[in-house]
Structure 1
């Protein structure tokens, strides 16, 4: 458990913050040109600094801009590391959290596009787990599961719509006993529900005060 001078609730909040941002900041470091080992060390160093120096106190002035604060602070930390390569690593002796980054490196390799800006690589890594959790909530939603066959037919197309290389909507609608218009209405409603859940999870995992435009930015990255 990560410890601060605050309550256990604050400890849990910091745990969630670290879990939500560590893979995204790793993507940022890799997209900035660091190799896997240096990127891993940079993330460990950053969170040691955040926890050891209680740097999150500065967030009181951010008014819900945690995502921007994290990226800016991490970038500043990377700059400082480059300028002080001989300084003691990982927070000057502060005990740091040990994480395994093998799966995060595989994820980065799978999703990174050559030339992609580091901030976009970071945001994409923030958005992907939000979408994964969104699907899990949809999968367990009682209202959605009233007609599970309809949900399963529409689930692959929530983000990107109906592609041309799939069975036509008329064929799928007939199989489900729906009109084409009814199928399209179901698709619109399901997408809206997914977008709402996505926003809820962003507020839970990234920042309780995350601005709507930031959530929309992350949603558009997926689409």
Structure 2
């Protein structure tokens, strides 16, 4: 269960921390610290569903870790005689950054599932990739895939329909019970 939770939230936390202005290494550290604190707090019974969503609690933990890291960076700048301003995002920005990171992770996973775990054949996925993702004209995609233009449209629509199903399923899995 922990592994699934970690696989689900670590990439979201890293993306969220990056959007909050952290470098890759710092974002990974914040994600690790936030997940560790979440696990400890959860075991101690600190999460209370009636007080809010699980994602809101995790956002709060991550936001506090980001603020701690930024304060430490400010202290180092002060020690070097540099500017001491700290950038703290407002609640709306934090929520938007979290949701953007979450949606990106869901879409990446959905694309992986579409490519590896569906019954769609390689040509169908290639036609979808060319037309929908790379914006290649249908005539050119048809030539590259060895399909007619009509078959490219059918393949693209079939893949989009399947992708929407996968995204809906993953979104439901990412939502709290």
- Structure 2 length-normalised TM: 0.62
| CA distance in 2: counterparts of 1:142 and 1:53, whole angstroms | 38
Uncovered stretches (5+) of structure 1, i.e. residues with no partner: 1-11, 86-116, 210-223
The structural deviation recorded for 1:53 is: 2.0
Q: Is the 8 A contact 1:50 1:56 kept in 2?
A: no
Uncovered stretches (5+) of structure 2, i.e. residues with no partner: 73-92
| CA distance in 2: counterparts of 1:38 and 1:57, whole angstroms | 26
Match of 1:60 among 46, 49, 57: 49
Match of 1:191 among 160, 164, 172: 160
Is it true that 1:150 corresponds to 2:97 in the alignment? Answer: no
189-198 or 132-141: which moved more?
132-141
- Structure 1 length-normalised TM: 0.52
Aligned runs of 1:1-223 on 2, under 5 Å? 12=1, 14-36=2-24, 38-54=26-42, 58=47, 60-61=49-50, 65-79=53-67, 81=68, 119-141=95-117, 143-145=119-121, 148-158=122-132, 160=133, 163=135, 166=136, 168-170=137-139, 172-173=141-142, 176-180=146-150, 182-204=151-173, 206-207=174-175, 209=177
Q: Is the 8 A contact 2:110 2:167 kept in 1?
A: yes
Higher share in helix:
2
* RMSD, aligned α-carbons: 3.6
How many positions carry a matched residue from both structures? 155
| CA distance in 2: counterparts of 1:36 and 1:170, whole angstroms | 41
| CA distance in 2: counterparts of 1:178 and 1:190, whole angstroms | 16
